[in-house]
Structure 1
Amino acid sequence: MNKKVKLYGLPTCPVCRRTKKYLDDEGIDYEYLDVSINHVAKEMIVKSGQKTVPVIEIEGEIIIGFDKTKIEKLLKG
């Protein structure tokens, strides 16, 4: 089963680009949401309680920043 993955980020954010590259390199399907679009930013802030990016959501679980170990754990779990 493929897990539902969302990546909230900004095109200008280097950590967001690194996160996207990791997901792409691993062949992980994900939805990228640009938080500079207001309604998307609001959704991310409500879900994560954060105003920083990247925020990764995997099946409703929130990861703040690029944390490879947490990403792998949630994808395998």
Structure 2
Amino acid sequence: MLEIAVFGKPGCPQCKTTTQHLDKVGLPYRYRDVTEDQSAHDIVTALGYRGLPVVTVGDLHWSGYRHSRINRLAEIHSTTPDLAVLEPAAIAYLNAEEPSE
């Protein structure tokens, strides 16, 4: 299964909201604190992000709290629990333009 990773730091409201939403929709994830884990910090930097949280799902990634993306991911996960088998159509759906959040 592809791992969902949330890169955040203590005191980050969007990080907390992101993890709470993932918990609410039942998506498993790994939280990585960039202030404690240098490799996590390096990953965020290598991806080109300066803000947190950063969420990665395999090769997909985004920054900030993205309500619609989490809901789309939960919808996909409910029918395909092993995210490693995401088909191109599911990836396109997940990456679809989001309305302003």
TM over 0.5: yes
CA shift, 1:50, in A, is 0.8
Assess if the C-alpha contact under 8 Å between 1:3 and 1:59 holds in 2. Answer: yes
Cα distance, 1:3 vs. partner?
4.1
Q: Which runs of 5+ in 2 are unaligned?
A: 77-89, 91-101
Q: Does the residue aligned with 1:15 lie in a helix, a strand or coil?
A: helix
> May I ask how many residue pairs the two structures share in their alignment?
75
Q: TM-score, normalised by structure 2?
A: 0.66
Question: 5+ unaligned residues in a row in structure 1: which ranges?
Answer: none
Q: Counting strand residues as a fraction of each chain, which structure ranks higher? A: 1
Mapped contact 2:18–2:65 kept (Cα < 8 A): yes
The aligned residue for residue 72 of structure 1 is 71
Extract structure 1 runs of 4+ deviating beyond 2 A. 70-75
Alpha-carbon separation, structure 1, partners of 2:70 and 2:17: 13
Root-mean-square deviation over aligned CA pairs? 1.6
TM-score, with normalisation over the residues of structure 1? 0.84
Cα offsets for 1:27-56 (capped at 9, x unmatched): 11001000112221011211x201210000
